[in-house]
Amino acid sequence: MNVDVLKAISDESRLRILNVLMRGKLCVCEIEEVLEISQSNVSRHLNKLKTAKIIKMTKEAQWSYYEIHEDFIRNHQYLYLYLKHSFEHDKSLKKDMHNLVDLKANAKCVSLKIEK
């Protein structure tokens, strides 16, 4: 087990980010709105997760999208499954999931409006 991975997931905000990214690829503005935290805070946490190779970033036009890195899922399968299971049963994360569903339904983010 890589110590950097464990350090990266030892923060509540980063766990919340992983929770929403397990539902699919999101841009920074979507994560910011779903979690109701500042863009600079989101970016700092995303950078730590990316450095630990838990997530990856792809660019599409002017937007940066983040998603769970397939190498992380493959190399840390038990941890990934544990986190996924834990997130599904964590009542404190339900608000984030409600916000994500609302965001997708209302296409509040500029990048979502263009994808439609």
Q: Where are the domains of the chain?
A: 3-111
Q: How confident is the model at residue 104 (pLDDT cuts 50, 70, 90)?
A: confident
Q: Which two structure tokens, joined as six digits, stand for 18?
A: 């992983």
Confidence of residue 43 (pLDDT cuts 50, 70, 90): very high
pLDDT at 111 over 60: no
Residue 84: pLDDT above 90? yes
In this predicted structure, the answer to whether residue 35 has a pLDDT above a threshold of 80 is yes
**Model confidence at 92, in pLDDT bands (50, 70, 90)?**
confident
* Cβ-count burial 46-80 (b if 16+ within 10 Å, e if not): bebbeebbbbbbeeeeebebbebbeebeeebeebb
pLDDT at 31 over 70: yes
79: its two tokens: 């941890």
pLDDT of residue 105: 87
For residue 66, name the pLDDT band (cuts at 50, 70, 90).
very high
The proportion of the chain whose per-residue pLDDT surpasses 90, expressed as a percent, equals 79
CATH 2.40.110.10 for the 3-111 domain, yes or no: no
